[in-house]
Copies of this chain bind each other. A is one copy, B any other.
Amino acid sequence: MERRKVGILGATGMVGQRFIQLLSNHPWFEIAWLAASDRSAGKTYGDACRWKLDTPLPKHIAAMTMQPNVPEGTVGELPKIIFAALDADIARELEPKFAAVGCAVISNSSAFRMTPDVPLVVPEVNADHLALIEAQASRRENGGKGGYIVTNPNCSAIGLVMALKPLEERFGIESLFVSTMQAVSGAGYPGVPSLDIMGNVVPFIKNEEEKMQEEVGKLLGRLDGRKIEMLDAKVSAHCNRVPVEDGHTECVSIKLRKKATREEILAAWNEFLPLQGQHLPTAPSQPVEYDDGVDRPQPRLDKMRGNGMAATVGRLRECSLLDWKFVVLSHNTIRGAAGAAVLNAEVLALLGKLDKLDVAVTPAVAVMA
């Protein structure tokens, strides 16, 4: 089977590097186009990027020439599938341009997550929301063949909703409290200064509590025709940065609509296998893993479960205020960012939403280098 060509927008940042890592040996996708800021265009990726991962930068990727970060002017063909790892402000400007020329934009940015006709999706949780793309103007106005934008949630929301979804399905969620301890890689590079975080805790991440609260509502919401009816539950988030490299740990207290026993909750997590049998390359075999160790999950030990795509849950115990307490952990730049987007793309492929894209843009004459 021939692999589909894909591009990466924002390829030099922390999430961009994870895209490279996850896609450079992907069985369905092939990296064919890389772009970052204006000043990187024309350089090789190896020169434009300070590679910060502990697996080597593949040589053929290092040698690729960076393209302009707009649809026009690409040397060669613009891929139909664009993974985007841009800051929100830049995403707001650039992503629609790619959708407008016909690309499927698989975005990790917060820019359009709460836009009504943009699906905010974690495939195990709400793959049905992907139908929203048909409501996007770029798609409607092109006879259903136009481009679109699909988003995944904030790194702190993904692990949480994976743990919540099986509980919502079986028991209903009335309210919850979540207190996070988030890794520094979530702030990108250079990101958090070492003097701010070594041996320290910073009990604030800009806009993070707001994002978690509203994204949970949309992710667990119900698709009603062409719009999402938000989950009717109260969510209160406290977000903290801690001196951890990768892996967000979250303490959760939850009140369910229908009482559940410990065994019923464990069963809900254990039997939560919504993508089973689909053979998606990036999907973990057990999306929510419960670890019964007294002191688990921990970022250092558990973040790489399911190749970094599983959420690990532990310490289920009664809450003296709501019903139950537990801890959930997930890898923030794999499951919580690049891996989430790649899995979104795999589901879109499965649904045939990557097949009929009709990208129309005049490439540049190859004079750049």
Query: Does A315 count as interface, using CB distance less than 8 angstroms?
Result: yes
Q: In chain A between 183 and 218, which residues have their CB closer than 8 angstroms to a CB of chain B?
A: 184-185, 189-204, 213
Cα–Cα distance between A319 and B234 once the two chains are bound (Å): 10
Nearest opposing residue in chain B for A236, CB measure: B321
Which B residues are in CB contact (< 8 Å) with A177? 177, 179, 253, 321
Q: In chain A between 272 and 304, which residues have their CB closer than 8 angstroms to a CB of chain B?
A: 294-304
Query: Does A126 count as interface, using CB distance less than 8 angstroms?
Result: no
Query: Does A61 count as interface, using CB distance less than 8 angstroms?
Result: no
CB distance from A103 to the nearest CB of B (A): 30
Which B residues are in CB contact (< 8 Å) with A56? 305
Query: Does A99 count as interface, using CB distance less than 8 angstroms?
Result: no
Q: Is the CB of B240 within 8 A of A298?
A: no
- Name, among A51, A191, A200, the residue most crowded by chain B CB atoms within 10 Å (CB to CB): A200
CB distance from A69 to the nearest CB of B (A): 23
Query: Does A181 count as interface, using CB distance less than 8 angstroms?
Result: yes
A contact residues, range: 35 or more
Nearest opposing residue in chain B for A202, CB measure: B295
Contact with B along A221-243 (1 / 0, CB 8 A): 00000000000001110101011
Give the number of copies in the complex: 4
CB distance from A162 to the nearest CB of B (A): 17
Cα–Cα distance between A185 and B196 once the two chains are bound (Å): 11
Stretch from A78-86, A134-142, A244-252 contacting the other chain: A244-252
CB distance from A333 to the nearest CB of B (A): 11
Q: Given A179-B179, A192-B193, A193-B192, do A201 and B52 touch, yes or no (CB 8 Å)?
A: no
Which B residues are in CB contact (< 8 Å) with A240? 181, 249, 251
CB distance from A293 to the nearest CB of B (A): 9
Nearest opposing residue in chain B for A319, CB measure: B236
Nearest opposing residue in chain B for A206, CB measure: B294
Q: Is the CB of A244 within 8 A of B201?
A: yes
Q: Given A198-B199, A295-B204, do A303 and B54 touch, yes or no (CB 8 Å)?
A: yes
Q: Is the CB of A298 within 8 A of B203?
A: yes
Query: Does A261 count as interface, using CB distance less than 8 angstroms?
Result: no
Which B residues are in CB contact (< 8 Å) with A190? 190, 193, 195-196
Q: Given A195-B52, A245-B195, do A200 and B236 touch, yes or no (CB 8 Å)?
A: no
Q: Which one, B55, B191, B201, B242, contacts A304 given CB within 8 A?
A: B55
In the complex, besides A199-B300, A202-B295, 10 extra interface pairs with C-beta distance below 8 angstroms are A54-B302, A194-B196, A194-B198, A198-B199, A198-B245, A201-B244, A202-B298, A204-B296, A238-B325, A240-B249
The 29 listed contacts between A and B (C-beta, < 8 Å) are A54-B303, A55-B304, A175-B321, A177-B253, A179-B179, A179-B238, A190-B193, A191-B193, A191-B195, A192-B195, A193-B193, A194-B194, A194-B197, A194-B243, A195-B245, A197-B198, A198-B198, A199-B243, A199-B245, A199-B299, A200-B301, A201-B249, A201-B299, A203-B249, A203-B298, A204-B294, A236-B325, A238-B251, A240-B251
